[in-house]
Amino acid sequence: MSVPPPLGVVELGRVPYHEAHALQRRLADRLIAHDLDHDLLLLLEHERTVTLGRGTRESSLPLATEELTRRGVTVAEVERGGDVTWHGPGQLVGYPILDLTRHRQDLHWYLRTLEEALINGLGRLGIPAERNPGYTGVWTGGRKIASIGIHVRQWVTTHGFALNVSNDLADFGLIIPCGISGVTMTSVAREPGAEPGGDLPARVVAAVVAGFGEVFGRSPVPMTLGDLLAEGTAPRAGA
């Protein structure tokens, strides 16, 4: 029985949204062209950014895009599904770049599995998380803690999830998050079930990576961006 290829995990730090978007496309192109022989999970955070998915409604933006820009918020129209969402410092953003032909060619399955990966990771942090029937994303105690929006081209995925860790939740007041009126947003740091102590961002990354690897059946292997961009590279154990 053949061993599935590993999952290359790249922690990028804080990256401007448009740069990360271009990087995703570049890597997806390589996976489509079979220039990469493994899946990827990019982990990063952005400056204050509002992204408008294909399902964004006018009612989801109480403020005009010009006003958001005036307030120092980047506004980006993107090809992912879903409504409007917010990114900013203190939030863990994950961009899985997966070849679904190696998993399951089913977008509903992929969305539910992304949710399961985050539920698994949050459970490792002591936070009981769940789905909210009829919506995409992850909740805990009726509060939304993670948003999900994806794009798939030739069965290769881009975009992904945004997990609130220690970010300022007040910025969600600038939008109607994911177009859901009355939603209450929360974060890992706000939840009483979260186990105290240690470096919270690092603990969250470790938990999410472990959950992601378990649910998708891949062994996570750390990579650097330099490794990734090298021609013909593959993840190496202990890299």
What is the DSSP code (8-state) at residue 130?
Answer: B
Q: State the residue for tokens 């307030």.
A: 71
Shortest CA distance to 44 belongs to which of 211, 189, 165?
165
Out of 9, 122, 178, 194, pick the active-site residue.
178
3-state secondary structure of 82: coil
Alpha-carbon distance of 103 to 164, in angstroms, equals 27
Alpha-carbon distance of 4 to 38, in angstroms, equals 9
Find out whether 184 and 132 touch, Cβ atoms under 8 Å: no
Q: State the residue for tokens 């994911």.
A: 178
Find out whether 83 and 178 touch, Cβ atoms under 8 Å: yes
Give the pair of three-digit tokens for residue 88. Answer: 């900013």
Q: Please say if 64 is a catalytic residue.
A: no
Find out whether 117 and 57 touch, Cβ atoms under 8 Å: no
What is the DSSP code (8-state) at residue 204?
Answer: H
Q: Give the H or E element holding residue 120.
A: helix 107-124
Q: State the residue for tokens 């081209």.
A: 153
| Catalytic residue list | 178
